[in-house]
Amino acid sequence: MEEIRNKLEQLLLKTQKPARYIGGELGSVTKDKSRVDVRFAFCFPDVYDVGMSHLGMKILYGLKNAVPNYWCERVFMPEKDLEALMRENNIPLYALESLDPIKDFDFIGFTLQYELSFTNVLEMLDLAGLPVYARDRKGLTPIVVGGGPCVCNPEPIAPFFDLFILGEGEEVNLELMRLYEQMKPQHPTKEQFLREAAKIEGIYVPQFYDVTYNEDGTVAAITPNVPEAKPKIKKRVISDFDHAYYPDSFVVPFTSIVHDRVVVEVLRGCIRGCRFCQAGFIYRPFREKSINTIAGQTRTLCEQTGYEEVSLSSLSTSDHTRITELLTTLSDYTDNENINLSLPSLRIDTMSKEIVDRIAAVRKSGLTFAPEAGTQRLRDVINKNLTEEEILRTCRLAFSEGYQTVKLYFMLGLPDETDEDIEGIANLAQKVVDLYYETPKEQRGKSVQVSLSCATFVPKPFTPFEFEPQALPDEIRRKQGHLLDCIKSKKIKVSYHQMNVSVLEGVLARGDRRLADTIYCAWKKGCTLDSWDEHFRFDLWQEAFEECRTDTAFYANRRRAYDETAPWSHLDYLVSHEFFVRENKKAHEAKTTRNCAEGCSGCGIKKECGGVYCG
Amino acid sequence: MAEMLQPKNQNLRIEKTEYRLVFEKTGRARYISHLDLMRCFQRLFKRAGAPLWYTQGFNPHAYLMFPLALPLGTSSSVEILDIALTEPLGYDELCEKVNACAPEGLRLVSAAAPVMKHTEIAFAEYEVSFEQDGTEGSVLGQRFSDFLAQEKIEVEKRTKKRGVNLVDIRPHICLLSLSSEGAHADAGLRLPAGSEFNLNTNVVMEAFESFMGSSLDRICTKRTKILTKSLENFI
Ligand code: SF4
């Protein structure tokens, strides 16, 4: 530690925002090494400012450190300026609390939140001074583990990891560390340890599975090669969510980060079943915390951190069964304490006006809707339950109160999308603009701006659209052009996401193990921080595709048969394959499926998982 | 949106008690930037249960004021922070409460009522310890006194209006001590500080490096005093 610290001190002043690289923030946990038995380096494969905003890391950091003889520390991807200085001065990747090199830790854990962070994993392993391929790391430690949503198809990065954790981590992380603590004194080999670990539910050890391929390139079979490996690995679910571990303290950064506030998770899972949304399926079933629990956690964290803003986190906060009562209780507390309450995923159309008025962030940020598709027909295809009337009704109310900006989110390239659907986007935006001009002058604000944000649809595993081809870049470009042609008002602004990013996402999301060498090749060429526009090098990725003979269309742009063996077919996220097939068929008939609150649709989740509506 | 046009804290308690705090910024905390330090202290008082007084108006903010900025990377145990609380707390009690929940490297040393005006700050003193690989501390110290023996030390100064200007900083540098031990040389410096004219140690050390024609490998800087024109401690 002293050595790294001394070297760092001379270099930090040469970097942007050095306080990100030296730890010591309030709430960070330091322990006496001589009393610690298991050390865990929790790596977020992106820069500090992004990683520190991530809720999952806060939960697992608190959870592991609550065990006296376990020590979990934080590690982030350095920006390019520090990365260059570290390599120049032989500083290995270190953990922020102890400033010790992470290659000496027992576990190195990565949370995999998006495909574009894959090259960062390689970069961080390399900066740590470790071989990136698991097969080249022969000793027992460090054991490199991965968790998070991308683990539902970890195949493209499987060769870099020793094991993956499927589903929710609160219980299984501790089970894994306990197993290690028990076995460590006997000095097992890595294989001996991994075989034992594979017996724990939710743990997937990729090297214990052989993958074979058909002549057409599709997967033929995924077969366990040791007796401990189960044919199907089930994700973990916390069934008693109200009593699940939640941290009573957060690390409070010195520098400002993306989400710099208290975050309280109010519910997990989503009832809605939008067919494009992976989170909506892999986090099922819908479970919620009681008002008491939420209020208590809010108070504790506000007091511990000193933050003046608290945000409720969930996929759709208004689906809490007692939302009005919850917001009333919370705003009574926050108003009193001069704390802002913000609700990022609130459907205001379902809320009473008094409640909406009380919530500062809604007032500040203007109106946001995510219709995702331009016509009711296409919204039925994707099962997005938001009607034009609802949007217009809320806009009318808002304009009469002086709101001036409306933001609408759409996706281009959805299954069965026609030009009429594209025109529908422009029409809807125009209707919103017209509505503003229909509002009496003395009520409405000075001007209006409608922003359309158009992403490219990326089909994801464990959704009803996992079988769908992703639209080709040229087709998306044509659709974008058509949309622009249809827009007549200067009050409407359109923004697109970088399309090449979606192309890469599309390939990685449904890729198989053979892609690992492509990822390695792209990283070797210098691809890192791919999620940052200024660092994204699609040209290098294309070189890598070519050199590794990767057919991107095979992964992204082909329709997959219902009975094809998917690269992720040995992983079980509890929602059944039959359900996805059924939903896919209904999508093509433009038929909607009711949400879980209206009635269970039998997606395959068992009642024992604790879902509010299941069974 | 008529109701939004009222100040948020319209019914706030106006009484306030003012405090001048002396704090320490060392170790990892040295890398907290000036702006971040403001936010950090604000949260710190909140956690400590010391109710900060908010300014009134449409954009209320907690009253916290650092009369003299500390450059990033410099450590100090004489930094000043002025605050106001809505409920009076004993000086020792306030320090204890805040220190109980302060991050590593930040610590309140003392609290008292402010006596002087911020504009009275005129000088600050520093201890600068520096090294260059392959050069003895004593040699380095000799070079430093050669450097100060120059009649003029001109440095470039950027101004908004006139572009780059040459300024002679020699008259502003007061050497208080110079010694060496092993690999490092140590200089005690008094430099002008405050809102009127401020000279940071890094400007001096950069001028020294260009005088030597080579760069130093390690520089450790510590602020030791904040003084008035008549060289009294600022209180
Ligand atoms: S089992 Fe029924 S209620 Fe539960 S998540 Fe699935 S569809 Fe919804």
Provide the angle, in degrees to the nearest 10, between the axes of the packed helices A169-183 and A190-197: 140
**What percentage of chain B carries pLDDT values higher than 70?**
92
Whether chain B has a CB inside 8 Å of the CB on A7: the answer is no
The torsion of the CA quartet A315, A318, A323, A326, rounded to 10 degrees, works out to 50
Output the residue whose Cα is nearest ligand 1's atom 2.
A600
Strand ranges in A78-142 using DSSP code E only, listed in sequence order: 107-111
Distance CA A380, CA A368 (A): 20
Q: What Cα–Cα distance (Å) separates residue B7 from each residue in A307, A376, A466?
A: 21, 43, 52
> What is the per-residue pLDDT for A361?
46
Domains B17-115 and B119-228 share a fold: yes
> What is the per-residue pLDDT for A564?
97
Chain A residues whose CB is inside 8 A of the B43 CB are 26, 252, 305-308
Tokens 């322990």 belong to residue: A31
Q: Spell out the residues 6+ positions from residue A281 whose beta carbon is closer than 8 angstroms to its own.
A: A273, A462, A463, A573, A575, A603
Q: Spell out the residues 6+ positions from residue A157 whose beta carbon is closer than 8 angstroms to its own.
A: A112, A118, A121, A146, A150, A516, A519
Comparing CA positions, the residue from B227, B210, B136 lying closest to residue B179 is B136
Question: A273 in ligand 1 pocket by Cβ < 6 Å?
Answer: no
Comparing CA positions, the residue from A239, A162, A160 lying closest to residue A198 is A162
For testing contact with chain B, the best of A14, A335, A338 (most B CBs within 10 A): A338
Output the residue whose Cα is nearest ligand 1's atom 5.
A285
The answer to whether the Cβ–Cβ distance between B102 and A26 falls below 8 Å is yes
Distance CA B35, CA A493 (A): 34
Residue A615 has pLDDT above 90, yes or no: no
Strand ranges in A389-543 using DSSP code E only, listed in sequence order: 405-412, 449-456, 492-496
> What is the per-residue pLDDT for A258?
80
- Listed range (A124-133, A302-311, B75-84, B155-164) with the worst mean pLDDT: B155-164
Nearest CA in chain A to B43: A306
Domain with CATH 3.40.50.280 in chain A: 2-167+169-229
Residue B3 has pLDDT above 50, yes or no: no
Tell me: the pLDDT tens digits for A472-514? 999 999 999 999 999 999 999 999 888 899 999 999 999 999 9
Distance CA A275, CA A382 (A): 5
> What is the per-residue pLDDT for A357?
62
pLDDT mean over A209-226: 97
Whether chain B has a CB inside 8 Å of the CB on A89: the answer is no
How far, in Å, is the centroid of ligand 1 from the Cα of A204?
A: 25
Comparing CA positions, the residue from A119, A193, A177 lying closest to residue A150 is A119
**Nearest CA of chain B to the CA of A263: how many Å?**
16
Q: Does domain A2-167+169-229 have CATH number 3.40.50.280?
A: yes
Distance CA A560, CA A509 (A): 14
> What is the per-residue pLDDT for B15?
79
- Please provide the size of chain A in residues: 615
Residue A115 — pLDDT band, cuts 50, 70, 90?
very high
Comparing CA positions, the residue from A402, A324, A397, A361 lying closest to residue B3 is A402
Chain A residues 230-259 with CB within 8 Å of chain B: 252, 254-256
Q: What was the ipTM of the complex prediction?
A: 0.79
- Listed range (A140-149, A346-355, B125-134) with the worst mean pLDDT: A346-355
On the 0-12 / 13-18 / 19+ scale of CB atoms within 10 A, A577 is middle
pLDDT mean over A223-246: 97
How far, in Å, is the centroid of ligand 1 from the Cα of A345?
A: 21
pLDDT mean over A25-37: 94
Provide the angle, in degrees to the nearest 10, between the axes of the packed helices B34-48 and B91-100: 110
> What is the per-residue pLDDT for A123?
97
Interior CA angle at A139 toward A136 and A142, to 5°? 90
Domain with CATH 3.30.750.200 in chain A: 366-497
**What percentage of chain A carries pLDDT values higher than 90?**
80
Whether chain B has a CB inside 8 Å of the CB on A306: the answer is yes
Distance CA A347, CA A382 (A): 18
**Average per-residue pLDDT for chain A:** 93
Collapsing DSSP to helix, strand or coil, A201 comes out as: coil
On the 0-12 / 13-18 / 19+ scale of CB atoms within 10 A, A440 is exposed
Residue B2 — pLDDT band, cuts 50, 70, 90?
very low
The answer to whether the Cβ–Cβ distance between B103 and A303 falls below 8 Å is no
- Please provide the size of chain B in residues: 235
CATH no. of B17-115: 3.30.70.580
Interior CA angle at B78 toward B75 and B84, to 5°? 120
The answer to whether the Cβ–Cβ distance between A19 and B32 falls below 8 Å is yes
Question: A614 in ligand 1 pocket by Cβ < 6 Å?
Answer: yes
Residue A126 has pLDDT above 60, yes or no: yes
How far, in Å, is the centroid of ligand 1 from the Cα of A382?
A: 18
CATH no. of A366-497: 3.30.750.200
What is the domain partition of chain B in residue ranges?
17-115, 119-228
Chain B residues whose CB is inside 8 A of the A15 CB are none
Q: What Cα–Cα distance (Å) separates residue A548 from each residue in A109, A215, A514, A515, B16?
A: 28, 18, 9, 9, 70
Phi and psi, residue A374, nearest 5°: -85, -20
pLDDT mean over A85-107: 96
How far, in Å, is the centroid of ligand 1 from the Cα of A156?
A: 30
- Listed range (A226-240, A317-331, A535-549, B55-69) with the worst mean pLDDT: B55-69
The torsion of the CA quartet A491, A492, A493, A498, rounded to 10 degrees, works out to 180
Residue A345 — pLDDT band, cuts 50, 70, 90?
low
DSSP string, B15-43: --EEEEEEEEE-GGGGG--HHHHHHHHHH
The answer to whether the Cβ–Cβ distance between A306 and B4 falls below 8 Å is no
Tokens 């907290």 belong to residue: B32
Whether chain B has a CB inside 8 Å of the CB on A363: the answer is yes
Domain with CATH 3.30.750.210 in chain A: 237-363
The answer to whether the Cβ–Cβ distance between A26 and B218 falls below 8 Å is no
Asked if A266 and A312 touch (Cβ cutoff 8 Å), the reply is yes
Q: Domain A237-363: which CATH class? A: alpha beta
Residue A360 has pLDDT above 50, yes or no: no
Q: What Cα–Cα distance (Å) separates residue A246 from each residue in A61, A64, A145, A331?
A: 10, 11, 22, 21
Question: A429 in ligand 1 pocket by Cβ < 6 Å?
Answer: no
Residue B85 has pLDDT above 60, yes or no: yes
**What percentage of chain B carries pLDDT values higher than 90?**
56
**What percentage of chain A carries pLDDT values higher than 70?**
96
Nearest CA in chain B to A398: B1
Tell me: the pLDDT tens digits for A445-475? 888 999 999 999 999 999 999 999 999 999 9
Tokens 């994707």 belong to residue: A382
Output the residue whose Cα is nearest ligand 1's atom 6.
A603
> What is the per-residue pLDDT for B5?
43
Residue A348 has pLDDT above 70, yes or no: no
Residue A583 — pLDDT band, cuts 50, 70, 90?
very high
Query: B160 — alpha (psi -120 to 50), left (phi > 0) or beta?
Result: alpha
Chain A residues whose CB is inside 8 A of the B217 CB are 10
Q: Domain B119-228: which CATH class? A: alpha beta
Residue B9 has pLDDT above 80, yes or no: no
The answer to whether the Cβ–Cβ distance between B31 and A26 falls below 8 Å is no
> What is the per-residue pLDDT for A194?
98
Residues of chain B whose beta carbon is less than 8 angstroms from a beta carbon of chain A are 1, 4, 9, 27-29, 31-33, 36-37, 39-40, 42-47, 54, 72-73, 101-105, 217-218
Shortest-distance atom of ligand 1 to CA A575: 6
Chains A and B form CB pairs within 8 A to the count of: 67
Question: A287 in ligand 1 pocket by Cβ < 6 Å?
Answer: no
pLDDT mean over B64-87: 92
How far, in Å, is the centroid of ligand 1 from the Cα of A598?
A: 10
Tell me: the pLDDT tens digits for A298-323? 999 999 998 888 999 998 888 999 98
Nearest-CB residue to A13 (from B36, B73, B103): B73
Question: A280 in ligand 1 pocket by Cβ < 6 Å?
Answer: no
Distance CA A361, CA A327 (A): 13
Tell me: the pLDDT tens digits for A383-436? 998 888 988 888 888 888 788 888 999 999 999 999 999 999 999 999 999 999
Tell me: the pLDDT tens digits for A179-215? 999 999 999 999 999 999 999 999 999 999 999 999 9
**Nearest CA of chain B to the CA of A129: how many Å?**
25
